[in-house]
């Protein structure tokens, strides 16, 4: 019955749609969404007696099983888990599920090996658990991807009173080039907060976020496991001026003339370019170069996001 309903839902897509080359994630399967529903706790209990794995069904027709929550014996063997999984997969396919997600605590990692024999692959992993996924739907997998980028942030603290900018020489690089202090964002950290934190940690100077200036995107970042890297350079305004730099990371730290930084060879190409951008801003107004930030409420989640773009005249913004 369920398989029939599912097939009927797919019919309009077969007869009317042009062939879509889109590799959009599986939330784009409207037919599946119409079919699926969230399994209630009482329903979960009812199914458990069958000896198959149970999980939550999402609105896209996928099922998520959290191995930490379903009462598996801690010493379950790979072969026992494999049999459980095989039976469950057969059932889910009959029910027309399009995807299966397995959340596996690190201590149960032998179940990962068993799952891989059934076609599961890693979606992602962090700290103490891994998430595996298997596409059961038609055609090319439309599973959403996982995180691909790390975010690096640099903070250029500009003292407008004297045209100087705060720079450091990294202790650990072969060539001691002047750069803006910076580092990787912590998980969940906004880029402005990263800039302010890294500037303080490396130089001892307190500063506040003013604008975003430049973004660099690079792939297969060396030393980052082939990850991609988005490097965001921000303009900050100083709140204090005394330098107390971290000698573990920095060889030197100074307030340097922007004009000098823009001309010197003892810097990186990006730092040089941004120095010239800042010089232009210093001379003609930073509004010529800034991307200003505004925090706005997200429509559905109730959380906030940070939006960056060129500042519009006030009358046009709202």
Which residue in 140, 160, 186, 266 binds its own copies (CB under 8 A)? 186
Rounded to whole angstroms, how far apart are CA atoms 46 and 38?
Answer: 15
How deeply is 34 buried, as exposed, middle or buried, from its count of CB atoms within 10 A (0-12, 13-18, 19+)?
Answer: middle
In the complex, what is the shortest distance from the CB of residue 313 to its own copies, in angstroms, rounded to a whole number? 8
Rounded to whole angstroms, how far apart are CA atoms 89 and 143?
Answer: 17
Which residue in 176, 254, 276, 282 binds its own copies (CB under 8 A)? 276
Under rule CB under 8 A, residue 83 binds its own copies: no
Under rule CB under 8 A, residue 128 binds its own copies: yes
Sign of dihedral through CA atoms 118, 124, 125, 130? negative
Under rule CB under 8 A, residue 113 binds its own copies: yes
- What tokens appear for 28 in the block? 């784009």
Site string (140-159) toward its own copies, x via CB under 8 A:
----xxxxxxxx--------
Phi and psi (nearest 5°) for 120? -70, 145
Strand pairing report for 182-184 and 99-105: unpaired
Rounded to whole angstroms, how far apart are CA atoms 94 and 136?
Answer: 11
In the complex, what is the shortest distance from the CB of residue 93 to its own copies, in angstroms, rounded to a whole number? 22
Radius of gyration of the chain (CA): 26
In the complex, what is the shortest distance from the CB of residue 251 to its own copies, in angstroms, rounded to a whole number? 9
Q: Which stretch binds its own copies (CB under 8 A): 15-23, 45-53, 79-87, 88-96?
A: 15-23
- What tokens appear for 146 in the block? 């996982």
Strand pairing report for 62-66 and 178-179: unpaired
Which CB sits closer to its own copies, 91 or 228?
228
Under rule CB under 8 A, residue 110 binds its own copies: yes
- The count of other CB atoms within 10 Å of the CB of residue 262 is 19
Which residue in 158, 185, 209, 261 binds its own copies (CB under 8 A)? 185
The count of residues in the chain is 318
Which CB sits closer to its own copies, 136 or 213?
213
CB–CB of 253/166 below 8 Å? Answer: yes
In the complex, what is the shortest distance from the CB of residue 52 to its own copies, in angstroms, rounded to a whole number? 22
Q: Which stretch binds its own copies (CB under 8 A): 40-48, 88-96, 160-168, 181-189?
A: 181-189
Under rule CB under 8 A, residue 2 binds its own copies: no
Which CB sits closer to its own copies, 45 or 59?
59
Which residue in 33, 56, 206, 252 binds its own copies (CB under 8 A)? 33
In the complex, what is the shortest distance from the CB of residue 132 to its own copies, in angstroms, rounded to a whole number? 9
Q: What is the DSSP string of 133-179?
A: EEE-SSSS--------EEEEEEEEEEETTTTEEEEEEETTSSS--EE
Which CB sits closer to its own copies, 47 or 243?
243
Report 203-222 residues binding its own copies (CB under 8 A): 212-220, 222
In the complex, what is the shortest distance from the CB of residue 164 to its own copies, in angstroms, rounded to a whole number? 19
In the complex, what is the shortest distance from the CB of residue 258 to its own copies, in angstroms, rounded to a whole number? 12
């Amino acid at each position: 019955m369920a398989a029939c309903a599912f097939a009927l839902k797919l019919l309009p897509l077969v007869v009317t749609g042009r062939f879509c080359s889109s590799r959009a994630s599986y939330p784009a399967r409207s037919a599946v969404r119409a079919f699926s529903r969230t399994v209630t706790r009482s329903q979960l209990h009812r199914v458990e007696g069958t000896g198959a794995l149970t999980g939550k069904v999402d609105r896209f027709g996928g099922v998520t099983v959290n191995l930490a929550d379903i009462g598996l014996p801690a010493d379950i063997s790979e072969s026992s888990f494999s049999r459980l999984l095989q039976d469950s997969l057969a059932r889910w396919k009959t029910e027309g599920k399009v995807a299966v997600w397995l959340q596996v605590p690190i201590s149960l990692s032998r179940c990962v090996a068993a799952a891989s024999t059934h076609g599961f692959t890693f979606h992602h992993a962090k700290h103490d658990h891994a998430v595996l996924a298997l596409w059961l739907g038609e055609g090319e997998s439309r599973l959403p991807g996982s995180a691909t980028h790390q975010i690096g942030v640099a903070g250029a603290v500009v003292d407008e009173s004297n045209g100087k900018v705060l720079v450091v020489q990294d202790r650990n690089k072969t060539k001691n080039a002047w750069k803006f202090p910076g580092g990787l964002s912590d998980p969940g950290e906004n880029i402005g907060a990263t800039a302010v934190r890294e500037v303080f940690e490396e130089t001892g100077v307190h500063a506040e976020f003013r604008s975003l200036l430049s973004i660099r995107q690079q792939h297969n970042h060396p030393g980052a496991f082939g990850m991609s890297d988005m490097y965001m350079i921000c303009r900050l305004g100083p709140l204090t001026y005394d330098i107390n730099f971290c000698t573990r990371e920095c060889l030197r730290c100074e307030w340097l003339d922007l004009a000098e930084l823009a001309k010197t060879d003892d810097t990186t190409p990006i730092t040089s370019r941004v120095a010239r951008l800042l010089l232009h801003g210093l001379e003609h107004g930073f509004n010529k170069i800034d991307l200003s930030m505004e925090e706005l409420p997200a429509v559905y989640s109730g959380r906030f996001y940070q939006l960056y773009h060129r500042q519009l005249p006030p009358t046009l913004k709202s």
